[in-house]
Structure 1
């Protein structure tokens, strides 16, 4: 049985939220190089500042904007998934916008992990 369109969009919201959480934890690992994997009961929100510590000062403003957007997406996705919003599922347009934010963060971290400064992320 194929899920309804609404269910498919809710699953997409969950996927976006998980990708944001992974990016935030990945940023913490890149910045701090901990011996053990990060575990934080406060969620990804507390790891977002590590992303800013990884970027070149010339890219700080743009990255700061994306981090703010990621925090917004993180909170809105939580509201949708936990039923705290009248928006039961996000529209395809909103999901596309949220995916751009996640792709920016992932691209930034990929660039940093490969030894660069993540400057190529503006191509997202």
Structure 2
């Protein structure tokens, strides 16, 4: 993804889209040096990684107890947008993020509404699991 392109997660600053490099790109492209500072940033960067089909980042940010052995992407999926509905710290090292992600597969619209759980270990946030609505 071009570093100056608008970040797929849809974050805006002063009414304008934030560039990938200043948004999710700083976490995705620099996983070892720049972990996401909180669960919402991690969730947004994971959405962007799905858009870019970046399996290594998605697997690295999935908690080891829940991580699948591999990840495949829906062929022909066209991601349309992300809406973060809620972000709440549920403990010192736990949080939840509710979001709606929209995409199309073979022209058919798909809406994923989920409340995801995250945990922080050794200064890094990890996706644990999610409950779909």
- Please state which structure has a larger fraction of its residues in strand: 2
Q: Which has the larger radius of gyration?
A: 1
- Please state which structure has a larger fraction of its residues in helix: 1
> What is the TM-score of this pair, normalised by structure 2?
0.32
> What is the TM-score of this pair, normalised by structure 1?
0.34
